Every structure is written in C-alpha cells, then in structure tokens.
Structure 1
Amino acid sequence: MVLHANARAVLGAWIAPDAGQEELRRSYVDHLDAHADAMWRSCLPGHLTASSAIVSADGSRVALVLHRVHRMWLQTGGHCEPEDTTLGGAALREAAEESGIRGLTLLPDPVRLDRHAVPCGGGSFHLDVQYAALAPADAVLVRDPDESAGLDWFPAGSLPEPTDDSVRSLVGAAVRAVREHQGNAAAR
C-alpha cells in the first residue's frame, strides 16, 4: 500500500501542463481510488507503470531502447515491482536496469502521463507516469540483452524510426524539464 499511497499523493499534487494531461491526471487518481491493486499488473482494467526519458547531461540527446517484442524505439520503463516504494523510484530503477547508466538523477515530478492499450492479461491499459532522468556527463550505455534488442543515444530533435507520438511528446517534455532544472540550478 505504500506505493499506492505514493502514487495517489504524486498524482494528487501534480500540476498538469494542459487540459488533456489534467484529464488523464484525474482519471489516474480515480483509478487509484477505485482499485486497491492499481499498481500491479494483476489489475486488468489497467495498472500504473513508471517510465522516463533519459536525457544527456548537455540536454542534446536521449537514450532509447529498442523494445524486443514491439520492435519500436521507446523510453525506459515498465511495471512496478513489490520492492518499489515510490513511482519515481520505480522509474529510476527501470531506467538504470534498461540503460546500464550509473548515477542517473530523476527529476522529482512527472513530466507527462500516457494511457495506452497493452496485451497484459489478455488486454488492458498502462497508465504510464513519465519522468525525466538526467544522465551524468560520463554516462556509458550498457545494454542488457534480457531488457531490450537495442540501446542507443539519439539527438533529441531527431528520434529514430520506428517510434511513436507518445515517445516524441515525452522526449520534448523531458528535454524542456531538464533544461529548466539546469537553468534553475545555475541561477542558485
């Protein structure tokens, strides 16, 4: 229940950037209120997942994984695990596992939400909470063949194909968040 409570608190406090994201935010909160198991893949109407776009230290590139099944370039992320206590922690764990990068820094707030159909349990939805992760300047990608079919850096403004609009939207939001974060840190 700790993870469920954290997700409820994060999404209850998150300020959505636009009306569409606010509608999703409200639907995620309603889903959490209606389903005690909303954090687990056993929740077949849909379950929350955590992901992140990994942005290079200079903000110019993003690390993407080539999904083994869907054969698309996607952000890191996935299902929450029993040891996860926060949504941000789940997103950071997935980013480290799938990229091999040591020393990632997760920005504290989600940058966007995305709801999409998946084949889990014969067909359900992922209610993905998406973050931005900042890679250290000396980041080295280490692909685990159990995690993906490919892993690479790409210019933030020129993503590989095949990908989708959700990934493009996440990358744009993550790069903006990282640049704002870096600007705020430089101003201190």
Structure 2
Amino acid sequence: MPIPLSHVAQEFTAYRTSWGTDHHLMPLLRGLATTGEVTDRRNLAGHVTCSAVVIHEDGGSVLRIHHTVHQRYLFPGGHVDPEDSSLEAAALRELAEEADVRADQVEPLPGPFRVLHIDAHDIPERPDRDEPAHVHVDLRFGFRARGPLHLIPQEAEVSDPVWTPLADLTGIVGERLRAL
C-alpha cells in the first residue's frame, strides 16, 4: 500500500516548521499529487525519494556512497517501495540495501535534524530502462551511527562507501550537520 499523501504532507510541513525555508516545496508536493501517487516511481512528473544521512559515531564525518549510474557520491537512498510503512522506513531500508547498515545500528537525529533537507533535483533520461527524465524530491533523514559500522556496498548500484569529513561536506546538509 502506498504511503498516503497526508503522511508525505506532514513530513513536508514538519520540515518547513523546523527550518523555515524552501517555501517552494508545498506547491511542488501539491503538483506531484495531481499527477498520481507522490511516492510511486512510475509518476514521471516526479516522485518522492528518501535518503539516509548517517553521521559517524565520532560525529566528525558522514557516510556517502558512489552511485554507479550517476557517477558521483551520494547519501544512501532511493525510491519508496509499496511495503515501506513510512518515509523514514524507506530511508532505512535503502541504507540496509546499499550499505548493509541495519536500522538498529543507527539512531535518528533529534528534533529538526530528523529531516535535514528536502532536495528537488532532475534525474536524466535512462533509455536502458525506458525511463524519461523526471524529478526526485528527496527527503534526507538524519541518523547517527550507534557504534562502528561494517559497510558492505550493494555492488549492483553502488560502490566505495566513504566517510566524508563534515568540514568537506558542502551545501545545506553540511551546514546543518556542522550546527549540531
């Protein structure tokens, strides 16, 4: 069963309440809702995806993985599956699938840091999958490792898990994590 639009809207509202930014997100969410299920990857107007931003147990770095399709380092994450009970559960499932990190090995960051960022970005056309260009609206959930993590990448999609120092992490996520 897909995650209801009301649940997605609650996450967006909580994010806006916490950060007071990104006012473009609610109209974007409403626009996606008019074209189909907002978490359904078949919604080619765009759809919600989820990522896990995991801070190392020492607090000094964050986990990123090399995505083989996009040929760049990203946070572990991806599409919401029908069996996911929540958006946060989708991020945790993707973390387990891509880096072999279980939900009990991390803990959610507190308060506003639970959803660190919502990023809308273009995904290029994938002729190999008969998939046109579309938009991902990615909810980036913050977690802290509860101890040492033994990272095993899912070689079909990702490789080379690395701990990026917070000082080297650019953009909104880096700014917010350094403020923790």
Partner of 2:119: 114
CA shift, 1:49, in A, is: 0.5
* 1:101 CA drift (Å): 2.1
Q: Distance in 1 between matches of 2:65 and 2:98?
A: 7
Would the aligned equivalents of 1:52 and 1:77 in 2 still touch at CA under 8 Å? yes
147-156 vs 44-53, which deviates more?
147-156
Asked whether the 8 Å contact 2:2–2:83 carries over to 1, the reply is no
Amino acid at match of 2:10: A
One-letter identity of the residue aligned with 1:89: A
Q: Do the aligned partners of 2:49 and 2:77 also contact (CA within 8 Å) in 1?
A: yes
Partner of residue 9, structure 1: 10
Q: Give the Cα separation in 1 of the matches to 2:175 and 2:57.
A: 15
C-alpha distance in 2 between matches for 1:75 and 1:123: 21
Question: What's the counterpart of residue 170 of structure 1?
Answer: 173
Q: Which string of whole-angstrom CA distances, capped at 9 and with x for unpartnered residues, describes residues 2-61 of structure 1?
A: 512321222233315243x2322x134313542441111111110011112111122101
Alignment of 1:61-72 (within 5 A): 61-72=61-72
Unaligned 5+ runs, structure 1: 160-164, 180-188
How many residues align structurally?
Answer: 168
Partners in 2 of 1:137 and 1:150 — Cα distance?
A: 20
Report the identity percentage. Answer: 27
Mapped to 2, the partners of 1:122 and 1:29 lie a distance apart of 20
Higher strand share: 2
Instruction: Return closer, same or farther for 1:152/1:126 CA change in 2, 3 Å cut-off.
Output: same
AA paired with 1:113? I
- Local SS of the residue matching 1:157: helix
Normalization by structure 1: what TM-score? 0.78
Match of residue 186 from structure 1: none
Name 2:128's counterpart in structure 1. none
TM value normalised by structure 2: 0.82
1:124 aligns to what? 134
Tell me the amino acid that sits aligned with residue 7 of structure 1: V
Pick closer, same or farther for the CA change 1:175–1:35 going to 2, 3 Å.
farther
